Structures are given as C-alpha cells and as structure tokens.
Amino acid sequence: MSDTAIYPVPEEWARTAHVNRARYENACKAAETDPEGFWRGVAERLEWTAFPTRIKDVSFHKDDFRIRWFEDGILNVSVNCIDRHLPERRDDVAIIWEGDDPAESAAITYGELHAAVCRFANVLKKHGVNRGDRVTLYMPMIPEAAYAMLACARIGAVHSVVFGGFSPDSLAGRIEDCGSDFVITADEGLRGGKTIPLKANVDAALEKVSVRSVLVVRRTGADVAWVEGRDIDYGPEAASVEADCPPEPMGAEDPLFILYTSGSTGKPKGVLHTTGGYLVWAAWTHEVTFDYRPGQVFWCTADVGWVTGHSYLVYGPLANAATTVMFEGVPNYPDHSRFWQVVDKHRVEIFYTAPTALRALMREGDGPVKATSRSSLRLLGTVGEPINPEAWRWYHEVVGEGRCPIVDTWWQTETGGHLITPLPGSTDLKPGSATLPLPGIRLQIVDAEGHELTGPTEGNLCITDSWPGQMRTLYGDDQRFFDTYFSTYPGRYFTGDGCRRDADGYYWITGRVDDVINVSGHRMGTAEVESALVLHPYVAEAAVVGYPHDIKGQGIYAYVTLNAGVDAHDDLRAELIKHVRGEIGPIAAPDVIHWAPGLPKTRSGKIMRRILRKIAENELGALGDTSTLADPGVVDDLVKGRPA
Ligand code: WTA
C-alpha cells in the first residue's frame, strides 16, 4: 500500500460542493471550540415539535456513564422523512424501486409514500401495536419494507429488522431477545431469479418462540401456510384503513430501532438507536458525505436488513428529500452488467456499494461495465470493509471513468452513520484509506495497554467523545453495552478495529482486532459459527478464524475436532457446511473446514487463536512461540493436515 498515490479534489468539486476544504476545517474548529453550538446548528436541519434546549449530556466513565443528545427535543422521524417535504415535493419521487426482474420497477412519490406509510401505521395500530412495542421485520427488498419501518417510527413502535438471509433459528433468537410479539414479513422474497421462503421461515421460527400476530405482505403471490387468528393478510387490511395517521410526538431519546449485530462473544447484540441523534446523524452525513442535493438520484445497494440500508437507503436520504433507489436483486442477475444497467435506467448520480461486490464484478472483466453508459454517475462510495487499492482503482477508472471521486466511508452499526470518510469537495483521496474524521469525531489510536499513540502509527482505534448518532445501549443489557465498548480502554469507546495513521494524518482501517470477522462486508462473530458447529452431533470442538479471501475480503476458516470414532470425510464436510447455513444462514457458511485432531491450547485451556490464524493464512513461518502450549505437537499435526 503506497501512501503517495493521491487523487486531489477535482476543481469543480472544490468550487461547488456543500463542503470545501475551508468549510471542513472551520467545522472541525467549531466542533472543538463550541461543541454545543456546533451540534445545535446541525440539529436545526430537522423539523422539531420542540427544539432541544439541552444539546449534549455525555460521559464515557463508569461512575457517571451516560449518552444523551438533544434530550428535551420532540420530533417524529416519519414527519421528517415525509410530511415536511410535502408542501414543496409532494410529486417528487421518494423511492425508485427496481425489481429483481429487469422488467419490473416502480416510482413512489412523497405524496404516495405519505399515504402508504399512514395506511401501514393504521394497520399496525388496528392490530394492537402501541408506542414502545418492538416489531420484528423479516422482509425482502420491496417498498413495503421501508413503509413498515417508517410506519413504526410514525406510531413510536421500535422496529427490529432481521436480514432475510438469516435462518429461522436466528430469527427466533432475535424475536425472543427483544420480546417482540409482532412480525412483519412477505410470502416470499425474490433474488437473482430464485424465491426465498420468508413466510415459511417465520412459521419455522415461531415453532421456537410465539408471537401474537404475523402481518404478511404479498410479493410473489405464492400459496403459503396460514395460521388463522395469528396471520394477517396485509393487502385487504391496508384497503380497510385511512390513508392518514397522526404522527406520535417522540422524545429525542426515545428508541427508534434495534438492529442485531455480531460481537466477539456470545449471541448477537441488539444495538439500540434513538430518535433525534440518529436522524440528525443519518441526515447530516448523507448530505455532506455524498454532497447530496434534492433531485439527484441516490442508490445505496445495501439490504434494509443491515445498518447501511437503515441509514443510507431509508432514513438519511428520505430526511433529505432525496430520490432513493431500492434494488430487490443481485449484481449478477440476469448478467454482470445489472448494476450499471440500473444506473443508466434510473440516471443514478450517486452510487454506494460494498468492496466485495466490486471485487466480484471486477473478476468478470471490464466488458460488462463498458457495455453501459454510466454517464449520469458523479460520485461513488464504498462501505463495509477495507477496500483494496486494486479494487479502488478499478472502481475509479473503469466504473467512474476517472471522473467520479470515491468516498470510502468507515463506520459501524454502533455509530449510526459515517465517522471517517472523505468529503468529495474537501479531501484528497488515497486509494484504500477512509482518510479523515468528520468534524467533531475525536479519534485516538492506542496500544494494547491503552496508551495513546501519536503521529504516524498503528494500533487500536478508539473514539474519545460522543457524536449524536452513537448507539445508546444494547437492548435490555446496559451492562454488556458498557463492558463491550467502554471497559477495554476506560473513558473511551473502543471500535474493535485496528487502524494505521500515516504521515499526512490519514486513517487506514486494517480490520477487526477482536473475534469478529468481516465476510463479504457482513459482520460475523466467530463464536456464533463455533456454537453452530458444536451443535452437530459429530462435532466435539470447533474454532473459527478469518483468513484473506479474494472476493469476500475475509473467508470463514473452521477447525473442527470430531467425536471419537467419527471419520473425517468430504461428505461430512459438506454436511457441516449445510448445518451452519441452516443454523445461522448462508452468510455464515464456512469456506474451509480443517479437520483438527486437537486444538492448540494453553495450559489453562485457552485456545491460541493467533496460531490458528497463521495456519489459516498459510503463514507457517510466522507461528511464533508455541512453547506455552499444553501440547506443542498439536501444531505440527494441524500444519500437516491443512486442506489442499
Ligand atoms: C468494517 C457497516 C474499512 C469495520 C457500516 C467495522 C470498514 C465493521 C469500513 C462494521 C471501511 C466498515 N473501511 N473497514 N470503509 N466500513 N468497515 O457494523 O471493521 O456491519 O468495524 O457496519 O465493518 O460493520 P457493520
């Protein structure tokens, strides 16, 4: 990785962007010298029923730990995303929906969005959903997914969106954890020409945990099983209610949504975001990072099941009166030109996707890109994992034909929105670097003991002060929230990421330093995959690590010790992979299964993952000191047993 390749801000961008270099530097100064005034100013972009007088009340220290923003402010998220745009933009397109089948698409105006969300909200109310109730969404990428999210926000219910690729077991765990008794789903999803049995998965999940109601939206019209008294058909219900629903006035610190994400230990964590700070953050970052102006067509390819879909498909863009594209399909269906065909079809100006998708498309060569025009594109973005400079250059040169800046946005489910990112009118770009923090974001790189490292350096990335979009807690578990993020380095939020800072002060995220891996831009806890593996009757023990994977960024490498008397063979390998898919979902399927007669453990029984990572990476010369192992011979066996 070279620090010297610099792509300067194009002159036109420096001249016309919302934020040029002088504005960026001024904002950084203002955020430092007068944080209250600065954040008050940022909050003014929203419409408040009562504008907050208390701006920030934060301590990261154990004794008086609290994170509160805009605490006495009152607002409603759906009003900010819809109603306030109606006087001027009723007929502007809010959502462009592009179906899996290229022949299917739809345009929903802000006026239509208002009616659809109100109807949805009235259906929820009619079926007993109240302010504060948790509602689980298990939806395909259809406009009703956004309607359902906004409808919850309208009535003050808390949504928990579960990605449609998760298994019934994973869904059940997430329903149970937040005590949700209302599920919204569709008959089936459609992706890459294949159907996904969403309703059947919900039925299977509900064998483990019970809920009051399941609201079913018809997508494919397939004949699905029906439980009388529990299942509700959305279509007829929507027709039976009013297209107007008064918004619930919400406190800024009232919960908006829960989103489960993987941690380094235990079951997935229910990250909780609140109303005011989250929306301020999603809206502000969407505007400054993407230099967004109403009228432009903005496309974030993420699924609504992930935080990127929450912040940059739904909430950020709609709060800014944007035209946001929602794509039901996949990048390689019907062919590898699909992304770029959709760009041409809808005249997309800003395109935001994940490095894994780019690497997969890059492998198909330039042909499928060059078969399209892409003349509407003006800005490109990436998110989810470090982008390798080779993919960055391909994105810049082939997709963007050298004319579009790339914003490499670093953030997390926990952060609500971007924290480290170039601003296209202000930041010179370096391929592979997320560059500089947004104004008000105070980064610190520390060593393992928590000592601050200054100047050009590499270590663990912490943040020393809050920002409005920060998560507030883990649902129902304040203690785990504190322990996970604020106890490793007292007084600071620990991101879990490693990071390098170069001589220009640019930040380069090096990847997770905990037991979380990032597979195709999706977070996966190694502990979750291990738990799934050991549920199999033949498995005695399992240890999972990440390893570099050309397309996925990281692949899942599983060491498996079988029960005595069980033979290791390829059929069992396939069976174990299928088993993990069934337990968690396809995104958790191991790429490699390495039969391990034993695992390297210390005398106290702790697995030495460092060694397992090195063997998975095939760095056999760098295994380091193995003398503290209870049985050093285990390592030789593992090295000999590496799968071809
Ligand atoms: C990684 C996704 C490098 C990082 C928004 C982080 C990145 C984790 C980048 C969060 C980036 C995200 N460069 N790494 N631009 N963006 N990451 O919660 O390891 O699904 O901690 O949020 O993705 O993943 P999450």
| 307 lies in some domain | no
pLDDT band of residue 288 (cuts 50, 70, 90) is very high
- Residue 107 placed within a domain: no
For the CA of 261, the nearest atom of ligand 1: 18
Residue 6 covered by a domain? no
Q: Where are the beta strands (DSSP E) in 70-118?
A: 74-75, 93-98, 105-109
Residue 195: strand, helix, or coil? strand
* Dist. CA 102 → ligand 1 center (Å): 30
Tokens 């597979």 sit on residue: 519
pLDDT recorded at residue 407: 98
The pLDDT assigned to 267 comes to 87
The total number of structural domains in the chain stands at 1
CA of 509 to the centre of ligand 1 (A): 9
Tell me how far apart the alpha carbons of residues 87 and 106 are, in angstroms, rounded to a whole number. 23
The finding on whether 386 has its CB within 6 A of some atom of ligand 1 is: yes
Ligand 1: which of 285, 304, 420, 523 to mutate, most ligand atoms within 8 Å of CB?
A: 523
Nearest CA to ligand 1 atom 23: 384
The runs of H, that is alpha helices, within 210-315 are 234-239, 275-290, 307-309
What does the alpha-carbon distance between residue 340 and residue 327 come to, in Å, rounded to a whole number?
A: 12
pLDDT for 627: 84
Q: Please report which confidence band the pLDDT of residue 263 belongs to, taking 50, 70 and 90 as the band edges.
A: confident
591: domain range?
A: 520-641
- Is any atom of ligand 1 closer than 6 Å to the C-beta of 412? yes
User: According to the model, what pLDDT value does residue 80 have?
Assistant: 99
> Lowest-confidence range among 47-61, 236-250, 585-599, 616-630?
616-630
Residue 194 labelled as part of a binding site: yes
pLDDT recorded at residue 495: 98
Decide whether any atom of ligand 1 lies within 6 Å of the 409 Cβ: yes
Which pLDDT does position 248 carry in this prediction?
A: 98
CA of 409 to the centre of ligand 1 (A): 8
pLDDT at 82 over 90: yes
CA of 411 to the centre of ligand 1 (A): 5
Ligand 1 proximity of 519 Cβ (cutoff 6 Å):
no
Ligand 1 pocket check for 514: Cβ under 6 Å: no
- For the residues 266-294, what does the mean pLDDT come to? 97
Statement: residue 242 has pLDDT above 60? yes
CATH code where residue 573 lies: 3.30.300.30
Q: What is the mean pLDDT of the chain?
A: 97
438 burial level (CB within 10 Å; 0-12, 13-18, 19+): buried
pLDDT for the residue 628: 84
By most ligand atoms within 8 Å of CB, the mutation choice from 315, 412, 414 for ligand 1 is 412
Which of 395, 430, 517, 518 has the most ligand 1 atoms within 8 A of CB, as the residue to mutate?
518
For the stretch 474-497, pLDDT in tens is: 999 999 999 999 999 999 999 999
Q: % helix / strand / coil in the chain, to the nearest 5?
A: 35, 25, 40
pLDDT tens sequence across 409-454: 999 999 999 999 999 999 999 999 999 999 999 999 999 999 999 9
Does residue 1 surpass a pLDDT of 50?
A: no
Q: Each residue of 332-367: pLDDT tens digit?
A: 999 999 999 999 999 999 999 999 999 999 999 999
Q: Are 276 and 69 in contact (CB under 8 A)?
A: yes
* Residue 370 placed within a domain: no
pLDDT of residue 3: 54
Atom of ligand 1 nearest to the CA of 409: 15
ipTM: 0.99
Mutate which of 509, 512, 552 for ligand 1? The one with the most ligand atoms within 8 Å of its CB, which is 509
For residue 389, say if its preceding peptide bond is cis, omega within 30 degrees of 0.
no
CA of 413 to the centre of ligand 1 (A): 8
Q: Is residue 628 part of a domain?
A: yes
The amino acid at residue 488 is: T
Instruction: Note the pTM of the prediction, 2 decimals.
Output: 0.96
User: What is the predicted pLDDT for the residue at 284?
Assistant: 98
pLDDT at 622: 86
Q: Is residue 401 part of a domain?
A: no
338 marked ligand binding residue? no
**What's the average model confidence in pLDDT over 32-50?**
98
218 annotated as belonging to a binding site for a ligand: no
Whether the CB of 469 sits within 6 Å of ligand 1: no
Mean pLDDT of 522-534: 95
Residue 605: inside a domain, yes or no?
yes
Q: What percentage of the chain has pLDDT greater than the value 90? A: 95
Ligand 1 lined by 413 (C-beta under 6 Å): yes
| Annotated binding-site residue? 523 | yes
Q: Would residue 268 count as lying in a domain?
A: no
